[in-house]
Structure 1
């Protein structure tokens, strides 16, 4: 079920990992270099699963997509340009992210950022926030909030195929 809480916020219930992958494919189709997707949520809520599915949607269905939990960042050459997947969980502050190539990534790539609060003032105002939460034993809820240019882009994102019959 899709809910629209305000013009710049949409929420969808994801009953399975396949539904999460379907959302990722929809998001992937809307992304371009310079975009930032900020992923929030508790451990195990589905942030990495969404990122993994999104990266596979723009590379290969069976691509190896390791979590950047220990490497902090993974980069991919994709159909939509470079994709940088950051996991900032282990960082203590924004100064550490610059050492990971943050400025280069912002200039040329799509950025997927887990734990974006670690960015502090480096978090761009123009971004898509995706908050993943538990909605049941196997269900997740994704709340998408557009900021800046994403406010209008979010309203055009077709999520209707994700609705349950």
Structure 2
């Protein structure tokens, strides 16, 4: 797995990395017929939702980006992308994703941002990118790992 490390001294730094990744994704050609899947890992309050908000807004969303903690998923139509932001913290069993129709969310012009993806293991698509955000005193450390060819291409440009 290829990785890049980022030290994030502030929320603005976190949002800057999210914006840069959104630009890289937007400028890349999608040659896959699968969604781009990004797994976001970290403790409660580490910045997963903040990262998602910055990423979604950088792709053109003008409104508020709500945390999908209670709804499990919030979707955004941002042509050419359909973005599905999942927060699986409250998921009791990965099979719940099947009941909510996870397959309907997985086409080629889709970006999946999944917080707490380990709770959807075996049902949620494997990630192209895995982002781990960890506390570093009052700052954060972020590791972005690429797990697929597509992920490595994106990571190289980040």
- TM-score scaled by structure 2? 0.86
Matches within 5 A, 1:26-37: 26-31=20-25, 34-37=35-38
**Contact kept in structure 2, 1:126 and 1:147, CA below 8 Å:** yes
Cα offset, 1:151, TM superposition: 4.9
TM-score if structure 1 supplies the norm length? 0.83
Alignment of 1:123-162 (within 5 A): 123-137=124-138, 139-158=139-158
Q: Distance in 2 between matches of 1:80 and 1:18?
A: 27
Matched, 1:110 2:104: no
Task: Determine if the alignment matches structure 1 residue 10 to structure 2 residue 11.
Answer: no
Number of matched residues? 150
On the 8 A contact 1:41/1:132 being kept in 2, the answer is: yes
Q: CA deviation at 1:100?
A: 2.9
Question: Does the CA-based 8 Å contact 2:132-2:142 persist in structure 1?
Answer: yes
1:78-115 Cα shifts (integer Å, max 9, x gaps): 14410000000001121101233311111241000000
Structure 1: state its 5+ residue gaps: 1-6, 159-165
SS at the partner of 1:96? helix
Instruction: Name the CA shift for 1:95/1:59 in 2 (closer, same or farther; >3 Å).
Output: same
Cα deviation digits, residues 28-77 of structure 1 (max 9, x gap): 123367100000000000000000111111124x5211100011100001
Give 1:163's aligned residue.
none
Q: Which residue of 2 aligns with 1:161?
A: none
Corresponding residue of 1:4: none
The Cα shift of 1:148 comes to 1.6
Superimposed CA distance per residue, residues 112-151 of structure 1 (whole angstroms, 9 cap, x where no aligned partner) = 00000011112434521000101121x1111111112245
Specify the SS of the correspondent of 2:63.
coil
